[in-house]
A and B are shown apart, each in its own frame.
Chain A
Amino acid sequence: MATNIEIEPGAALESALVTTESYENFQEMSSSLEEIKNSNFIPSTTDEYLDNCNNLDNDIHLNCSITSTNSKDEEYLQDEEWLSKSKHVFVLSSAGKPIYSRYGNEDRFASYFGIMQALVSFVQADDDSIRSIHAGDTKFVFLFKEPLILVAVSKTEECTLQLTAQLNYVFNQIASTLTLSRLVKIYEQRRNYDLRRLLTGVDRFIDNLLDFSENEPAFTLSAVQCLPLTSSIRDAISAAIIQSCSKIKNVVFGILLAKNQLITLVRMKKYYIHPHDLHLIFNLVQASESFKTVESCWAPICLPRFDSSGFLYGHVSYLAEDCQACLILLTVEGDAFSSLSEAKQRIVERLRRGSCLEAINESLASREESCMEVGFPELRHYIYKSKSTAQFYQPHISAPYSINSRRLVNIYKQAHYKLHCPTRPLKLLFERTPQDAILAWDTRGFELYAVLEPLIETSSAISTVGRLLNWIKKREDKLFHLNAPTF
């Protein structure tokens, strides 16, 4: 067993992340919060707080008036810029009320939302559900998750499954700000509720999430990338977090990240974080520039895959002026801010003493080596995902993709789709176009996507990939977070 696992680079016996299939059903949710709370005494204030959350009486008086006229709708239909966007995303309530539009003011084309709602409910009347409409190069993808309808209108090359996955992320982002339980409850009480009242400011997170999911392989792969650090440094950082939080009850996750890369993740025994939830945290940090100006922030965060019914509280802060890594300590206790603040101070002191801050800065400042630089001239770029740890590694993007990285992203997305196509998944793919060649390989332990020179021989492509796997194996300690430390 042990030897078997050592074969794949970046594999580990235990992972801090839940490992998943890419297009799995997003429905499944767990309810870990109750468990944690039940195992400990809950102060009464938490209950009161939850009561307050559920109290919607205050919401009745203000209703946003929707001022839409046909002439205004037509304005958008004729707006070339609006029409030329490659991907529109809309969110509406199951009653057809507009909630979000990626571009433009959703009030201005309220009638479109009516059409979307009609399409969904028409098909639903036959106990069926509409998934997509294909019209020329445009795809209309629908996702109906009570109580919301999400629609993507896309001219990109992404497949229906990838678009549905993005809509799921949008849904999870909304659930993350309100909790799914509350969302459902709101609409149970008032079907016509205008959800935008509760979502002010969330547009920014959804906008960012969509850009993020279009450009980052992490989303397609359901995995995260780690900041390269020697394993002794990474262990020292994990130890600093564990020791500093050891006396604090109910800290569920301690996450340190920088530049969209994970530095370490410490978890409570028995609990794992799902990559989708971790992506929401990355998104939160990335979209909140304001965290940088603040000493620390205390924010309720619902991780829908962890527990969609309640909030965790996040102590969010950057480590120091001279180290722009962001520390997130998640707990179930609403009043633990001060003890976590103290813990954070201790963590920073420990990291400073152990010269870990310098190590983080050094890694942040240094550019990843390109394939050429490490001796793979025929290899242009690659992504390696270790399945057992839900982590991936990619080198620096170099020519010819440095200018058009979108093209590279598309190559990966299509190869990923071909490996995971539900009707006919492939294990190995080698495809050559006049511009590039791709070799994609799905094994039990890893997925590898290698983009090569278009004129390469198949045999040398295979030998390159073999050498590459050895190269990654030698560096796995540095490129992956192989321990799964716990509090």
Chain B
Amino acid sequence: MALDRKFIGKTYPSFTYDVSREKIREYARAIKSVDPHHFDETFAKQSRYGAIIAPPTFAVIFHACMIEPFFGDRELNIDMARIMHGEQSFEFFEPVRAGDYITTSLKIHDIQNKEKADLVTIEAASKNQHGRDVCRGLYTFLHRK
């Protein structure tokens, strides 16, 4: 059954994620980064950011906390076996620092019904504990028919 376009604009409760230095390092190692901004406390303190910062794409971790409830939304009736990640775009604002609290809200940005698949785009928007924008991500998934 096609994903109903009436769900465009649907929002989900926001979620706050605590950023730890070690999670930043774990993620940075996973993407094979050796940038001292993510690993070296002394270097980071002297950098323009004054603290260890996360790689920009670390945003996927706090976004994932929101995307799971979306996939599990019974009203949408999504079959995970038919889901593929089609497109991605990020806008980055203030970097994420170790110790930050990042609050993300999620909404269904768009749904398009195509011949072979439905395209659903969700928007995850994240702010830090100071209320400043950190990252906005648009995730487009294909739900194959």
Answer yes or no: are A and B bound together in one complex: no
Interface on B for A, CB 8 Å cutoff? none
Interface on A for B, CB 8 Å cutoff? none
